[in-house]
Structure 1
Amino acid sequence: MMALLACGTGFILDFLFGDPVWLYHPIRLIGALIAFLEKQFRRICKDQKNAQFVAGGLLGILVVLVSVVVPCLFLYAAGRVHPVLRFLLESFWCWQLLAAKGLKQESMKVYAEVKKGDLPGARKAVSMIVGRDTQCLDEAGVVKAAVETVAENTSDGVTAPLLFMMIGGAPLGFFYKAVNTMDSMIGYKDEKYLYLGRCAAKMDDVLNYIPARLSAFLMIAAAWVLKMDARGAWRIYLRDRRKHASPNSAQTEAVCAGALQIRLAGDAWYFGKLYKKDYIGDDIRPVEAEDIPRADRLMYGTAVLTFLLFGMVKLVFIL
């Protein structure tokens, strides 16, 4: 019950205030640990592929252990002082681990630049939230990139950590974010990370398999509640949910494309190289700037439904 209340408090704080940027974020500490261990393992393994593969597995185990054990120890110590102190600490961490308002704020920066007609400014704003090259994107490309990021991160940044925290409080939330951060830092299929980062990428795929699909179903429900094209969201989800290199990334992206009646994805440039990608959705209408706040509303609707549904499920098990 305490973990559920802390998760609910964190959810409300994120909804109202967004990420507390005035305090050093714990995920940055996890990122620093990943970078440190990568450096040490590379020094030991050199260019030996098999050794790098084993090192990647050890790196993953160490990062996860530290990311879970340290919060558990802090919460235990806080609880020994007073249960209220433990509750406040766990609520604060749950707040930090959610990214709904932060995602909205960053996407709306792109929206503001597009509405001003400042394409270079919009490209710069969207470059802060996507990994692709943005310098050659036209206005529609900028908007699509922002919408795709909101759609994909609805699961990675909001509903998935929310689900893990509702199951096991902040420590399980840190477990999820540790794996997610490893994937974003070293889970690439390029020459540098093909072996060292393979374990991190697979861990992220496994960990997100169920949350991504739950998020997609809840996003379809949110589209219906928000009077978007829920039928189109379901149709595009069934058709296009596998049109991505990752088994999870296209789940919510397909729903969003269908709900907004637009076409997303397609070819994209990364680090100066063109990657061929399938389209997701149908171009029933042209992409427009207003699709960014629409995607944000869909993200928030999905988050609220996730919290309400699984909060009630957990209450049933508790009571």
Structure 2
Amino acid sequence: MEKIFLITPLILILALLIDLFLGDPRWLPHPVVAMGKLISSLEKKLYLQKSKQEKPQALYWRGALLSLIVVITTFLITTLVVTIAQALGTLLATFIAALLLGIALAARSLAGAALEIKDLLEQGNLAEARRKLSYIVGRDTEQLDESEIVRATIETVAENTVDGITSPLFYAFILGVPGAYAYKAINTLDSMIGYRSERYLWFGRFAAKLDDIANYLPARLTGLSMIVGAALLGYPIKAMIRTWQRDAASHPSPNSGIPESVVAGALGVQLGGLNYYKQVPSQRATMGDPLVPLQARHIGQAVTIMAVTTVIFALPALVGLYWIGKWLL
């Protein structure tokens, strides 16, 4: 039974390679799409027309029920798939586990989207860069100048290093592929209903808090891995530690401020500031010091830091998984 929730070093290496070379191919249905459909379907059943007249506590518990159903269902279905694969043989089980874990990661897609924006900026094509940026951020992009496009892209790369890479890996290390997908369900719930809008202020509050809790430890381990990785690339350790200690806690998210502040300290740029969401202004605390102006090249540097952070984060797990595997098997 313990094999179902065990990620071997081979599975981890294959998963990273699958994400690197395959990414999120359009011809392969992505499990997150299925999660989104399940969330939308349950929302229609649990967020009733009369919900706006209900007490906040009732809305909260309806949203909590939705969240628990989605996470538990995702975990059980993934466990069933892995169990069936293991029953059919070790080789197939290894391949299925690696494929599923690789699909759960977002390093290639995130890097590809960011570098495409970088290339467009270097070509002077601001209009297309704004359009591409709108695919990966929630803020308004129509009026952004080059420095603001760069800032938004770097912030997304930094934040999604946790959401899209290290947190899924962290839960895979603990609970295997089912753990990674349970986390993906939590993250998808947060992205769909975890807003502080009129509709979701109470209905999505449980999902938002669950996402904060799930990312709490991975975000801090990612921050440490990011400092080590960036230091190996030659970026100043003291600046990264200083910006983390000084700026991270002022971010609206208890977790996103960590990678954003570390990247800002590494690159010597300032992130954060004024954003617009559906034409509504939102002032975010600044991260880092504006030692140099934001330029397109900084996007490539942020992507490199993300890649090295992934390796640094995974290396201790490779050693640990090797010894755990020897002990169990």
TM-score after normalising by structure 1: 0.97
Question: What is the letter of the counterpart of residue 8 of structure 1?
Answer: I
- Map residues 147-296 of structure 1 onto 2, 5 A cutoff: 147-296=154-303
Q: 1:110 is matched with which residue?
A: 117
Q: 1:17 is matched with which residue?
A: 22
Q: 2:32 is matched with which residue?
A: 27
Identity rate of aligned residues, in percent? 37
Per the TM alignment, residue 7 of structure 1 is displaced from its structure 2 partner at its CA by 2.5
Q: 1:64 is matched with which residue?
A: 71
Three-state SS of the structure 2 residue aligned to 1:241 is: helix
Once residues 60 and 175 of structure 2 are traced to their aligned partners in structure 1, the CA distance between those partners, rounded to angstroms, is 30
Q: 1:128 is matched with which residue?
A: 135
Once residues 84 and 161 of structure 2 are traced to their aligned partners in structure 1, the CA distance between those partners, rounded to angstroms, is 33
Once residues 309 and 254 of structure 1 are traced to their aligned partners in structure 2, the CA distance between those partners, rounded to angstroms, is 24
CA contact (8 A) 2:60 2:206 kept: yes
Per the TM alignment, residue 252 of structure 1 is displaced from its structure 2 partner at its CA by 0.4
Once residues 27 and 301 of structure 1 are traced to their aligned partners in structure 2, the CA distance between those partners, rounded to angstroms, is 26
Once residues 98 and 50 of structure 2 are traced to their aligned partners in structure 1, the CA distance between those partners, rounded to angstroms, is 40
Structure 1 residue ranges without an equivalent (≥5):
none
Per the TM alignment, residue 277 of structure 1 is displaced from its structure 2 partner at its CA by 1.5
Per the TM alignment, residue 44 of structure 1 is displaced from its structure 2 partner at its CA by 6.9
CA contact (8 A) 1:219 1:298 kept: yes
Greater shift after overlay, 216-225 or 43-52?
A: 43-52
Question: Could you tell me which of 85, 105, 112 is aligned with 2:92?
Answer: 85
CA contact (8 A) 1:212 1:252 kept: yes
Structure 2 residue ranges without an equivalent (≥5):
none
Q: 2:46 is matched with which residue?
A: 41
Once residues 316 and 242 of structure 1 are traced to their aligned partners in structure 2, the CA distance between those partners, rounded to angstroms, is 36
CA contact (8 A) 2:7 2:321 kept: no
CA contact (8 A) 1:152 1:252 kept: yes
Three-state SS of the structure 2 residue aligned to 1:267 is: strand
Once residues 247 and 106 of structure 2 are traced to their aligned partners in structure 1, the CA distance between those partners, rounded to angstroms, is 26
Find runs of 4+ consecutive structure 1 residues off by over 6 angstroms: none
Per the TM alignment, residue 51 of structure 1 is displaced from its structure 2 partner at its CA by 1.9
CA contact (8 A) 1:7 1:165 kept: no
Per the TM alignment, residue 45 of structure 1 is displaced from its structure 2 partner at its CA by 5.5
Once residues 243 and 78 of structure 1 are traced to their aligned partners in structure 2, the CA distance between those partners, rounded to angstroms, is 45
Question: Could you tell me which of 297, 304, 317 is aligned with 1:297?
Answer: 304
Per the TM alignment, residue 111 of structure 1 is displaced from its structure 2 partner at its CA by 0.6
Greater shift after overlay, 110-119 or 9-18?
A: 9-18
Is it true that 1:3 corresponds to 2:3 in the alignment? Answer: no
CA contact (8 A) 1:7 1:166 kept: no
Question: What is the letter of the counterpart of residue 92 of structure 1?
Answer: L
| TM-aligned CA distance change 1:111 to 1:186, over 3 Å | same
Per the TM alignment, residue 314 of structure 1 is displaced from its structure 2 partner at its CA by 2.8
CA contact (8 A) 1:7 1:169 kept: no
Three-state SS of the structure 1 residue aligned to 2:281 is: strand
Three-state SS of the structure 2 residue aligned to 1:266 is: strand
Q: 2:126 is matched with which residue?
A: 119
Three-state SS of the structure 1 residue aligned to 2:48 is: helix
Alpha-carbon RMSD across the aligned residues, in angstroms, is 1.3
Three-state SS of the structure 1 residue aligned to 2:201 is: coil
Three-state SS of the structure 2 residue aligned to 1:245 is: coil
Once residues 307 and 295 of structure 1 are traced to their aligned partners in structure 2, the CA distance between those partners, rounded to angstroms, is 18
Question: What is the letter of the counterpart of residue 170 of structure 1?
Answer: V
